[in-house]
């Protein structure tokens, strides 16, 4: 099964992609994670993307399409993947549809996670992740069971994203509303869209997604 998780920054795409990936043995493909890895490694793509990401704007369609196209050819994607943070523009969605046809793959569903803007700012400014395994946490909404120790890997180092500050969040939200929201119409018209209430707690959102998938 191949899925897209669609939603604004901080909606819970990464959190749900990780849970769903584990439950259904699907590979999580986050363009944000891939771009951050490229920035950290100082590759050509990383150099191109760094400033744009720090400003909370979208990296060019060509760059992200190139990354995703190569990644879904990898053997681990054969049995299914979850796209987290891609596509983010109608142009990306159109190319993705073409790529999937060429690669003989299907898109089974697009799951939209809906959350109000004001909640998103709180979600993002309180977000941090385990530096070792990437598990996501939140100062208020998702604390590790034991303070300072990752539930998943017992790691004790955590990191925060440079773009997770209030000012950059506002420009990321603007980018979402102007460039990404049109995808809801794009996928809605093709009957592939399922929407869930992302304002509820993490496990309730996961349940809604499971229900949506069993209806397919």
Looking at 57, 105, 161, 192, which residue is catalytic?
A: 161
**Residue 58 binds ligand ADP, judged by CB under 6 A:** yes
**Is 57 designated active site?**
no
Helix (H, G, I), strand (E, B) or coil at 109: strand
Residue 21 binding target from Zn ion, ligand ADP, none, CB below 5 to 8 Å by type: none
**Residue 153 binds Zn ion, judged by CB under 5 A:** yes
**Residue 142 binds Zn ion, judged by CB under 5 A:** no
Return d(Cα 4, Cα 12) in angstroms, integer. 13
Look-up: residue for tokens 């909606």? 11
Q: Would strands 193-197 and 109-114 be described as parallel, antiparallel, or unpaired?
A: parallel
Helix (H, G, I), strand (E, B) or coil at 11: coil
Return d(Cα 21, Cα 36) in angstroms, integer. 20
Return d(Cα 57, Cα 156) in angstroms, integer. 31
Site for ligand ADP (CB under 6 A): which residue of 9, 130, 193, 196?
9
Residue 150 binding target from Zn ion, ligand ADP, none, CB below 5 to 8 Å by type: Zn ion
The DSSP 8-state label assigned to residue 178 in this structure reads I
What are the residues facing 35 on neighbouring strands? none
**Is 24 designated active site?**
no
Looking at 36, 123, 142, 172, which residue is catalytic?
A: 172
Return d(Cα 195, Cα 63) in angstroms, integer. 28
Return d(Cα 93, Cα 211) in angstroms, integer. 25
**Residue 135 binds Zn ion, judged by CB under 5 A:** yes
User: 141 or 186: whose CB is closer to Zn ion?
Assistant: 141
Ranges within 135-194 binding ligand ADP (CB under 6 A): 136-138, 141-142, 172
State the catalytic residues.
Answer: 13, 88, 127, 161, 172
- Contact residues toward ligand ADP (CB under 6 A) are 7, 9-15, 31-32, 35, 52-53, 56-59, 64, 85-88, 92, 123, 126-127, 136-138, 141-142, 172, 198, 201-202, 205
């Amino acid at each position: 099964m191949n899925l897209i998780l669609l939603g604004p920054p901080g909606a819970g795409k990464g959190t749900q992609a990780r849970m769903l990936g584990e439950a259904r043995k699907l590979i999580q493909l986050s363009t944000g994670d891939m771009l951050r890895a490229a920035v950290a490694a100082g590759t050509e793509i990383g150099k191109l993307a760094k400033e744009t990401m720090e400003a909370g704007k979208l990296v060019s369609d060509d760059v992200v399409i190139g990354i995703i196209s190569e990644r879904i050819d990898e053997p681990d994607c054969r049995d299914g993947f979850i796209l987290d943070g891609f596509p983010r523009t109608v142009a990306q969605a159109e190319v993705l549809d073409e790529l999937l046809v060429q690669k003989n793959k299907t898109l089974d569903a697009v799951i939209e996670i809906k959350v109000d803007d004001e909640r998103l700012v709180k979600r993002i400014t309180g977000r941090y992740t385990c530096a070792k395994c990437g598990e996501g946490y939140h100062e208020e909404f998702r604390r590790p069971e034991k303070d300072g120790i990752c539930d998943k890997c017992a790691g004790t180092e955590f990191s925060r994203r440079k773009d997770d500050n209030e000012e950059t969040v506002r420009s990321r939200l603007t980018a979402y509303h102007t460039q990404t929201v049109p995808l809801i119409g794009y996928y809605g018209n093709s009957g592939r869209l399922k929407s869930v209430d992302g304002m509820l707690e993490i496990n309730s959102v996961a349940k809604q997604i499971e229900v949506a998938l069993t209806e397919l």
